[in-house]
Amino acid sequence: MRKYWPTVLLVSAAIAIPAHLTAQDAQASGAAKAAATVEAAVGTSVADRALVGAAETFKADAGRVYCFSKVENAAGSDIEHVWYKDSTEVGRVKLHIGGSPWRTHSSKNLGESPAGNWRCDIVQDGKVLQSVAFKVE
């Protein structure tokens, strides 16, 4: 049995090494990972990690609105909340996604004459993942 021991080790290594290399190759080749997904809404505040006062229309005296996003499959990356009034960009906030799922938010002061059509786009690497439209009257 002692004289066969080196052969047993070589055969075991020959079987184990290709399996290990195949697993590494799949990771190195950037095997397809699930696309990031977002659920988003706009409201009047955020409390206890949840959106408060969610609506599609706000009064002009609301003062500030919040875009609340729940992001999945984007851990370790960044997203942006890009705010628009009518078709003009009025704000951009970069947010880090620390896990999956991850909840985050940004807010926008509506300013002196806020009436109009607004939206907040949730963007990752230049791609709009979700867009939330709302109106201020």
Residue 58 neighbours by CB distance under 10 Å: 21
| Domain residue extents for the chain | 1-32, 37-136
The tens digit of pLDDT for each residue in 43-58 reads 999 999 999 999 999 9
Whether pLDDT at 36 is above 50: yes
State the average pLDDT over residues 6-16. Answer: 52
Q: How far, in Å, are 41, 61, 107 from residue 123 at the CA level?
A: 14, 28, 15
Model pTM above 0.85: no
Whether pLDDT at 93 is above 80: yes
Closest CA to 133 of 1, 40, 71: 40
Q: What is the pLDDT of residue 35?
A: 85
Task: Give strand pairing partners of 45.
Answer: 52
The tens digit of pLDDT for each residue in 13-34 reads 555 555 444 444 444 555 566 7
Q: How far, in Å, are 30, 53, 65, 135, 137 from residue 34 at the CA level?
A: 11, 31, 31, 33, 39
Instruction: Report the alpha-carbon distance of residue 115 to residue 40 in Å, rounded.
Output: 22
Which CATH superfamily hosts domain 37-136? Answer: Macroglobulin (MG2) domain (2.60.40.1930)
State the average pLDDT over residues 109-113. Answer: 94
